[in-house]
Structure 1
Amino acid sequence: MEGPIRMTVTRAASAQTPQSHPYVGMWVTEDGHVRHNLLPNGRYDEARGSRESAYRGRYRVTGDHIDYWDDTGFTADGTFIDGVLHHGGMVLYRRE
């Protein structure tokens, strides 16, 4: 009888390599109520008011266009214009 079979599980390369896209980071409405954190792994975390992580999901940036796929199933999109994110009637600014 042969020895036990050993399996090695590895993560996909895309999960290990952070994005270096210039839009990765925190985007905030002028009043600070809505905050989009575009994470380097292609996920986002959106806070609204005192509600942290109100929405979470994945995103993809193509040129100056961003598509969102929320974990609950809805989709949304936006456009970066002159360093400002326009999304769902909101205007979000880059927070350093």
Structure 2
Amino acid sequence: MQHTLAAVITAALLAQPVQAGEAGLQADHPYAGLWVTQDGRIRHELLPNGRYVEARGTRERAYEGRYEVTGTHIEYWDDTGFTADGDFIDGVLHHAGMILYRR
């Protein structure tokens, strides 16, 4: 029961809108927006509030979490606990062996 309540509280907190100036705000970097593999199968939406949503095929919310951009490097922390990173090189996102282009 406690685990379920904690999950509900966490989901509610994550759904709260983020105001300018709050920790994690990433609106000042140039990479916010949608990034897509050439075949369209993998889609990363980098939200300006420091959160991301990754779609895979027909799974629109396959992964979600937070991210931080430092220069041209991006770090991801998925809500399920795994981490990943990538780099923006010449306007292209290189992440986990994938290449994603801005849409």
Consecutive aligned runs of 4 or more in structure 1 exceeding 3 Å deviation:
none
| Alpha-carbon separation, structure 1, partners of 2:85 and 2:52 | 13
Per the normalisation by structure 1, the TM-score is 0.82
Alignment partner of 2:35: what SS? strand
Aligned counterparts of 1:68 and 1:75: Cα–Cα separation in 2: 5
**Any unmatched runs of 5+ in structure 1?**
1-10
Alpha-carbon contact 2:35-2:100 (below 8 Å) kept: yes
* Correspondence for 2:78: 70
CA–CA distance in structure 1, aligned partners of residues 59 and 68 of structure 2: 24
- Tell me which protein shows more helix as a share of its residues: 2
> Do residues 94 (structure 1) and 98 (structure 2) align?
no
Larger radius of gyration: 1
Q: RMSD of the alignment, in Å?
A: 1.7
Q: How does 1:1-96 map to 2 (within 5 A)?
A: 13-14=21-22, 19-95=27-103
More strand by share: 1
- TM-score with structure 2 length normalisation? 0.76
Q: Unmatched 5+ residue regions in structure 2? A: 1-18
